[in-house]
Amino acid sequence: MRLGVFGGTFDPIHFGHLITAEQCREQAELDRVWFVPAARPPHKQKYDITPFDKRAEMIRLAIAGNPAFAVLELEKDRPGPSFTADTLSELRRQHPNDELFLIVGSDCLPDLPTWHEPQRVLAQATLLVGARPGWPVWPPEKLRAALGMPADATLNEQIVTLPLIDISSRDLRQRFSDGHSGRYLVPHAVLAYIADKGLYRK
């Protein structure tokens, strides 16, 4: 099995996430794409984030009807920060015969060297990199250099072509806080859930 791992805060999930996941599934010929919401994102520990259960439920609502997509609550009860290297290790333990692909946006590449044990991340999964507006995809030699890898080191990476749709969860939270519409930016079921639970209000 070829398994896509799509981690993130998903606060909230939006059509940009879904387009990325589907294009990665198709272009990398993935059998499944797993959405893995972070319980305690290490880069967002100073910020308030929506409770894990609500973010996971929004993902379930967004992906309903797509049999190739699923939510993994792997990080929900794990203590400490939600490190990608540890998540991949656990998935490899549970699925030793399957191939893992880590889905990331090109905006994540500059931060990758600051991740917890980034070379362990790359050793466990192929990177599927989708371009984000304003963030050119780094060539392999630039990523190797940033990670301190030898120039001839193997770097398992595949570039995925995406429509350059500039939607971000941060902007959506601000829109909802200001009382603006999120229609056509997030799935209708997610919009209804946000309204019902009063999420992102001032």
- Helix orientation angle between 15-27 and 52-63, rounded to the nearest 10 degrees: 60
* Mean pLDDT within 61-77: 95
User: Higher-confidence residue: 201 or 28?
Assistant: 28
pLDDT digits (tens, 9 = 90+) for 124-168: 999 999 988 888 888 889 999 999 888 888 889 999 999 988 899
In terms of Cα–Cα distance, which of 110, 119, 22 is closest to 66?
Answer: 22
Q: What is the pLDDT of the chain when averaged over all its residues?
A: 93
pLDDT at 43 over 80: no
pLDDT band of 202, cuts 50, 70, 90: confident
H or E segment and range at residue 15: helix 15-27
What pLDDT, on a 0 to 100 scale, did the predictor assign at position 41? 75
pLDDT digits (tens, 9 = 90+) for 90-126: 999 999 999 999 999 999 999 999 999 999 999 999 9
pLDDT digits (tens, 9 = 90+) for 3-40: 999 999 999 999 999 999 999 999 999 999 999 999 88
Q: Give the C-alpha separation, 145 to 134, whole Å.
A: 21
Q: Give the C-alpha separation, 53 to 149, whole Å.
A: 38
H or E segment and range at residue 101: strand 99-105
pLDDT band of 189, cuts 50, 70, 90: very high
H or E segment and range at residue 197: helix 188-197
Annotated domain spans of the chain: 2-166
* Mean pLDDT within 44-55: 83
What pLDDT, on a 0 to 100 scale, did the predictor assign at position 44? 59
pLDDT band of 46, cuts 50, 70, 90: low
Burial bucket for residue 20 (CB in 10 Å: 0-12, 13-18, 19+): buried
Does CATH place domain 2-166 in 3.40.1410.10? no
